[in-house]
Structure 1
Amino acid sequence: MPSAAERTRTLVQSTCSAVLLIPGLETAGSDQLMPLSRTVGPDGDLFLEFPADSPAVRAATHAQDDELAAVLEITDVAPVSVPHRIRGRARVCGWLTSVPGMAGPGRMLLRLETGEAHVEDLWGAEAVEPEELRDAAADPLAAHEAELLQHLHAAHGERLGTLCELLGDRSARAGTGSRPSVVPVALDRLGLRVRFFERNGPCFDARFEFPEPVRDVTELRHAMRTLFDAAAH
C-alpha cells in the first residue's frame, strides 16, 4: 500500500480542495483562505500562494518574527458520483511566514514550516513526520487520476462489472445475488479501488493490485488490460 507520507504528499500536490486555518481568522470566508497554488519545498515545507490582499497574507505579514500557527486542511472527494464520496482528509500543521518577492504581481507566497501532518483516508488514519513528508514522492498518476477514473466509469462500465468475477464468494456481500453496480473510486501506482453497491443497499470496496507498480499512463494501460483479462477468464 502507499505509505502515509506518500498519500499525504499526493493530496498536498493535488488539486483537491484545501483551506488554510489560522487562529483569529475563523470569521473569514473559506474561499478567502484557499491557496491559489501549493507546492512542497526541498525541506518538506509547504509554499502556498495567495492574493496579496487575502486575510492569510495580512496575518502572516502582521506576525512578522512571531510564530503564527496554521493548519492546511485538504479534503479529497472522489471525481465520480459514488456513495460516501469523501475519500479522505489530510492536515499539515506548522508555522506560517511570508516570502516576499517570490510570487507574481498581486500575489504573495506564504511558507508553512511543517511541524506535523496527519492523513485519514480509505487506507486508515496515520500520523506523518515532517521528514517523511519531505522524503516522500507524490503518486505518479495523481495528475491524471480524476480523468482516468471518469473515463473508466463512462466508457468501461461493462468491463468494470466483470471484476465481480474476481471476488468469489465476497460478491454476496453486496446484497442479493444480482450483480451490483461497480464504480472506480481510487487509482494509484499500485492498484485500482472500486466500490460495489446496490441502490439503497450496502456497499463495499475491493482493491485490485497491479502485478507491479506502474510509473506512467502507458504502463497503467497495460496493467488495466491484464486486470480485465483476468476477470474475463
Structure 2
Amino acid sequence: MNETRRPPAPHPAERARTIAARGGRAALLPSDGTENRVTPVLHHVHPRGDATVLLPDGHPLVEAARRAETTAVLEVADHAPVPLREPVRGLLWITGWLRTLDPREAREAGLEVAEDRPDPRLLDVGHGVSVLRLTPASLVVADAEGTTSLRLDLFAQAEPDPFATHEDHWLRHLELSHRDVVGLLAQHLPEHLRGGHVRPLGLDRFGLRLRVEMSDEDHDVRIAFSRSVGTSQELAVELRRLMGCPFLAQRR
C-alpha cells in the first residue's frame, strides 16, 4: 500500500517562531485550578522562548506572581487574515513559571520589548500596568501540519518565516481583489474538494495553504512550491507557476 507523501512544510520550530513573531491574540491560563483565561494588555514572545506579559496593576495574578513564582500557560493564537468560519489556523502554548518583575526589571523588560515591537501600551508600564515574565519549561505548536512538542533550543535556533510580516496584506489582497487567481490556484486541489468555497489561508516559503469550506466541514490543503523561496521575486515566479504561466516558471 503506497503512502501519500506530504508536501514539504516548515519545521515545527519555524512554525512556532512564526506564530510568536506575528503576535496574535493571547490568553494566560493560570494553573490555579480555575478555568479563568486572562487577556494580557500586551504580550511578547522572545526568540529564546520566554515571554513578557503586561497586566493591570492589582490583577490577582500580578499579586500571586509577586509573592511566589506560579505556573501558567501562555496561549498564542494565529488567526487567518481573511474572515473564515474557523479563523484560528495555529496555536502556540508556552508552559512555564510566571513572576512579577520589580520596577527596575519592568522598565528594562519594556525597553527590550520596544526594540522588537514598539507599542504605545508599553508607556503604561509603571503607570497602572505591571510586567510579568514567563520562563518556559515546554512549548507546543499545533496547526494543520500537526501537533508537536518542541525543545527550547530548537525554538531559539529557528527563524520566523521570511514572509510572516507581509502575509496578512498579500492574502487579504488576494481574497478581495484577485478571486480569479484563487480560482486558478484551486485547480491543484483534490477532485473531491473543488466544489467548495476556496479561501487563501496561509503563505510560507514552502508553499501556499488554501482553506476549502464545504457544506459539512472545512479542509486545509497545502500546495507546494517547486523549491523553497525567500524573496518576493522568487515568490512571484512560484505563484505564476501554480497559476499556469510556463514562460515565467522557467525563470530561476
How many angstroms does 1:44 deviate by?
3.1
Aligned with 1:12: secondary structure? helix
1:83: Cα distance to partner?
4.0
Offset of residue 191 of structure 1: 1.1
| Matched-pair contact (CA < 8 Å) for 1:50–1:57 | yes
User: Structure 2 matches for 1:18-97, cutoff 5 A?
Assistant: 18-24=26-32, 26=34, 30=37, 32-41=38-47, 43-63=48-68, 67-97=69-99
Report the Cα offset of residue 79 of structure 1: 2.2
What is the 5 A alignment of 1:159-198?
Answer: 159-167=181-189, 170-171=190-191, 173-174=192-193, 179-198=195-214
Conserved in 2, the CA contact under 8 Å of 1:78 and 1:186? yes
* 2:29–2:35 Cα contact (<8 Å) kept: no
- CA offset at residue 156 of structure 1? 1.1
Q: Secondary structure at the match of 2:134?
A: strand
Match status 1:12 vs 2:20 = yes
Structure 2 letter corresponding to 1:186: G
- Contact 2:19/2:90 (8 A) holds in 1: no
The correspondence for 1:146, drawn from 168, 172, 175, is 168
| Structure 2 letter corresponding to 1:190 | F
C-alpha displacement at 1:36, in angstroms?
A: 0.6
In 2 relative to 1, CA 27–209 (structure 1 residues): closer, same or farther, beyond 3 Å?
closer
- Judged with a 3 Å threshold, the aligned counterparts in structure 2 of structure 1 residues 25 and 98 are, in CA distance, closer, same or farther, namely farther
Q: Which amino acid aligns with 1:114?
A: P
- Would the aligned equivalents of 1:162 and 1:231 in 2 still touch at CA under 8 Å? no
**Distance in 2 separating the partners of 1:111 and 1:202:** 39
- Cα deviation code 1:40-70 (max 9, x no counterpart): 15x432222333443332222121xxx4111
Q: Can you list the C-alpha shifts for 1:177-213, whole angstroms capped at 9, x where unaligned?
A: xx54321111112211112344x25553321222333
Supply the distance in 1 between the matched residues of 2:99 and 2:246 (Cα, whole angstroms).
Answer: 52
Number of the residue aligned with 1:229: 244
Deviation at 1:7, TM superposition (A): 1.4
Deviation at 1:14, TM superposition (A): 1.8
In structure 1, give the amino acid aligned to 2:146.
G
Q: Which runs of 5+ in 1 are unaligned?
A: none
Identity %: 31
Answer yes or no: is the 8 Å Cα contact 1:23–1:70 preserved in 2.
yes
- Corresponding residue of 2:130: 108
Q: How many residues align?
A: 220
